[in-house]
Amino acid sequence: MKILDLAVKDLKRATRNLFLLGMAVAAPLLICTLMYFPLRRQQVEAVPAPVNVGVVNEDVPPSGAAPDESLGGAVEAMLDGDEVRSWISVTRLASPEAAEAALEAKRIGVAVLIPAGFTADFLGSQPSEPVTILRDPTLIVGPEAVRDMVRSLLDGVISGRVAHETLSAYIPSARLSEVVARYVGWYAELQRGLAYGSQTSALVVAQPGAPGNGSVEPVGTMMSVMMVGQIAFFAIHTGAYFMISLLQEDEQGTLARLFTTPTSRTVILGGKFIAVTLTVLLQGLVLLAAGRLLFGVDWGQPLPVAIALASQVIVASGLGVLLISLVRTTAQAGVVLGGVLTALGMLGGLFTANLTMPAGFRALAQFIPQGRVIALWRAVISGAATGEVIGQALVTAALGAVLFAAGAVIFRRRYS
């Protein structure tokens, strides 16, 4: 079968293409490896006990306001939120001295010191005394994460302060502190949702609880959450970058030469389409196997895994075919793919985060292959059965088929 000979030729060439191999396999594995070691280290410290955070909140709320309307209260509430309770346990301490003693005695791993007058300084736009974080130098990941949370909250607060200075000219002060408090509350929630929600944060998956379930490998679970993102992202890249080989054949004259052989143009294009599909399939299998063997990931039931992989392959090949059908030269392709795939990747990642989005965005997300595939994989690794994923998988595959068909039609026109 000539169509298979063509595809086999392309696969052989793909295995000799260092750039493609790097993109398809080496890059995702490298990224996963980089994530793996910190997680393993963290597991060693986090699994026996969650991070103990000591909070010294000396901040006094503005007169007449409830305690949690102070900025200090907002920080405290964030650290004590439901979302993070599984890995942070908060102890309230009376003074900085008490916090240092607790650190010394290893009763806490990190201390957050909120100075008196923090809110007042903020509202009064005087240079405010910063929040201090003390940490146990032998612990790595936990205190780091706490510091990040506090810092991102304060970043939000600073922009709130700019807003406060601008607005104070127009709005009475008492009313304003309410506005700012609401803003700060919203911002803290956004931060938690984006970075520390139970879906998005790999840290949170290190659930030290569930003692009855001894077979679960926490690092494996964390890795699976991260790897599915990598697998989906790089599958899409591989499909598109593989298809560049068609433009290359056009430029290097082998496509014209193929057209001079007694081989129909439909077969020649078909061979390329089979090749891209097989390449993305092989890449997916290699990454799944690597996840299992290197990082101990349990991907879930075989059938749902196969279904997710199949729809990933179809949508990644389809998008690749369509994108490349829209450009003329390899030089253009590099630029276009760099931009389009990065944008799609970011949107896809954003849509799987736990954020409240405007309805229009939600609708758009349905068409972003990365987002669809990541959501599908997430369901599979959390143990979803075939019946629970088949609908989503079919819709994703149908989207892929539509992209595929559109690209194929454009190529047919170009080379007829």
Report yes or no: 256 and 180 within 8 Å, Cβ to Cβ: no
CA 36 – CA 104 distance, rounded (Å)? 30
Q: How far is the CB of 360 from other proteins (least distance, A)?
A: 45
Q: How far is the CB of 245 from other proteins (least distance, A)?
A: 10
Q: How far is the CB of 3 from other proteins (least distance, A)?
A: 11
User: Is the CB of 213 or the CB of 416 nearer to other proteins?
Assistant: 416
Helix (H) or strand (E) holding 110, with range, is strand 110-114
User: From edge to edge, which strands make up the β-sheet containing 51-57?
Assistant: 88-92, 51-57, 110-114, 132-135
User: Is the CB of 16 or the CB of 212 nearer to other proteins?
Assistant: 16
User: Is the CB of 138 or the CB of 260 nearer to other proteins?
Assistant: 260
CA 11 – CA 357 distance, rounded (Å)? 41
User: Is the CB of 213 or the CB of 260 nearer to other proteins?
Assistant: 260
340-361 burial, b at 16+ Cβ within 10 Å, e below that, comes to ebeebbebbbbbbeeeeeeeee
Map residue 168 onto helix, strand or coil. coil
Q: How far is the CB of 287 from other proteins (least distance, A)?
A: 24
User: Is the CB of 3 or the CB of 322 nearer to other proteins?
Assistant: 3
Q: How far is the CB of 2 from other proteins (least distance, A)?
A: 6
Q: How far is the CB of 333 from other proteins (least distance, A)?
A: 18
Pairing of strands 51-57, 110-114: parallel
In whole angstroms, how far apart are CA 177 and each of 70, 101, 196? Answer: 9, 35, 27
Helix (H) or strand (E) holding 55, with range, is strand 51-57
Q: How far is the CB of 242 from other proteins (least distance, A)?
A: 14
User: Is the CB of 24 or the CB of 375 nearer to other proteins?
Assistant: 24
Q: How far is the CB of 256 from other proteins (least distance, A)?
A: 6
User: Is the CB of 64 or the CB of 253 nearer to other proteins?
Assistant: 253
User: Is the CB of 213 or the CB of 261 nearer to other proteins?
Assistant: 261
Place of tokens 């200090």: 72
CA geometry: angle at 227 spanning 276 and 43, to 5°?
A: 165
> What residues have CB less than 8 Å from 58, skipping those under 6 apart?
72, 95, 113, 114, 115, 116, 118
Q: How far is the CB of 248 from other proteins (least distance, A)?
A: 10
User: Is the CB of 256 or the CB of 405 nearer to other proteins?
Assistant: 256
Place of tokens 């000539």: 2
User: Is the CB of 95 or the CB of 252 nearer to other proteins?
Assistant: 252
Helices and strands (DSSP H and E) totals, the chain: 16, 4
The closest alpha carbon to 305, from 219, 371, 384, 367, belongs to 384
> Which residues in this chain contact other proteins in the complex, by CB under 8 A?
2, 5-6, 9, 12-13, 16-17, 252-254, 256-264
In whole angstroms, how far apart are CA 64 and each of 68, 175, 178? Answer: 12, 12, 11
Q: How far is the CB of 278 from other proteins (least distance, A)?
A: 17
Map residue 339 onto helix, strand or coil. helix
Report yes or no: 368 and 347 within 8 Å, Cβ to Cβ: yes
CA 118 – CA 89 distance, rounded (Å)? 23
